[in-house]
Amino acid sequence: MSKELVFGHKVPDTDAIVAAMALAYLKKQDGYDVEAVALGEPNAETKYVLDYFDTKAPRVISRAKPEVDKVMLVDHNEPQQSVSDIDQLTVTDVVDHHRINGFNTAAPLYYRAAPYGCCSTILTQMFSEEGIKIPKKLAGLMLSAIISDTLLLKSPTTTDFDRDALKALADIAGIDDYEDYGVKMLKAGTDVDSKTDQQLIDGDAKSFTMGGKSVRIDQINVVDLDDITKRADDVKKAMEAEAKDKGYDLFLVLVTNILDSNSELIVVGEPKSVVEKAFDNKFNADDIMNLPGVVSRKKQVVPPLTDALEK
């Protein structure tokens, strides 16, 4: 069996890095020759997690074809979120918890998706189904991915499966107080003052095609919305330059307060009126929209925006 690479999406978050490591471990037990890699350096939160569980970050690649013909994807499926030469590769496996969009194959494959809060929750189930034990460190990493994706089980994407997996993983990892660990971990990812405007708008950004429009959506986690609001003019300038450079029709930055589960949405590009319609809400004079209770890009931003743009 020829070697395969396993990776999550570009601009990786904790789940994208960890789910790749988990699937690679599982596939190795089944006899596959696989290596977990990443499409970018770990962010501040992921660095904290890897450091805490004494684990090396996966190697970063920008293209896969020079090394392999076949790949496995975790935590994404849309080609524009994947490795740059994805069109030259055969995808043999996908484990994901997002919508399916623009993902086409020539042959049958393994595809495992569920509408859970975290890809690592699906992987926890897969280990259990195959009767394979999750190593202690990996359990700590997977628990961190669930805390990250569900904002400590508070995001509306959270399911009972995520809650059950988190508890099972905490037991294996020997984390007695996962709430205490989780708040520290999430805060480690919210050090926005040390970041440039460019770093902020790149940090957790994903590209989508919706109703023929190229849409970029970034999310910035903070413990105080004002940390971003106070520099919104500069952030918008960076967004405008990036949208022009990369040809995005719309660029949305969702600033989320992880402590009280509220967000502000900063938007550049057009059609803004459709964004207002999507959220049944209005922008203020600075093109910022308050979105109380919105914390999930996947569940509370992408579906209404897709619906509105495809109408």
Residues that bind its own copies (CB under 8 A): 97-116, 129, 298-299, 302-303, 306-307
Give the residue from 60, 54, 56 showing the smallest Cα distance to 41: 60
Q: Closest separation between CB of residue 199 and its own copies, Å?
A: 28
**At what angle are helices 136-150 and 44-52 packed, to 10 degrees?**
150
Rg of the chain over Cα atoms, rounded to whole angstroms, equals: 19
Nearer of residues 29 and 199 to its own copies, judged by Cβ: 29
Q: Closest separation between CB of residue 94 and its own copies, Å?
A: 8
Q: Closest separation between CB of residue 91 and its own copies, Å?
A: 9
Nearer of residues 83 and 305 to its own copies, judged by Cβ: 305
Nearer of residues 115 and 292 to its own copies, judged by Cβ: 115
Other residues' Cβ atoms within 10 Å of the Cβ of residue 283? 17
Q: Closest separation between CB of residue 236 and its own copies, Å?
A: 28
Looking from the CA of 249 toward its CB, the CA atoms found within 13 Å total 14
Q: Closest separation between CB of residue 128 and its own copies, Å?
A: 9
Tell me the C-alpha distance between 192 and 209, whole Å: 28
Q: Is 203 strand, coil or helix?
A: coil
The conformation of residue 142, written as its DSSP 8-state character, comes to H
**E-only strand ranges, the chain:** 4-7, 34-38, 59-60, 70-74, 90-96, 110-113, 206-210, 213-222, 250-257, 262-269, 288-292
Q: Are strands 110-113 and 90-96 parallel, antiparallel or unpaired?
A: parallel
Q: Closest separation between CB of residue 106 and its own copies, Å?
A: 5
Q: Closest separation between CB of residue 18 and its own copies, Å?
A: 19
Nearer of residues 14 and 159 to its own copies, judged by Cβ: 159
Asked if residues 142 and 124 have their Cβ atoms less than 8 Å apart, the reply is yes
Nearer of residues 46 and 157 to its own copies, judged by Cβ: 157
Nearer of residues 165 and 238 to its own copies, judged by Cβ: 165
Asked if residues 116 and 149 have their Cβ atoms less than 8 Å apart, the reply is no
Nearer of residues 120 and 190 to its own copies, judged by Cβ: 120
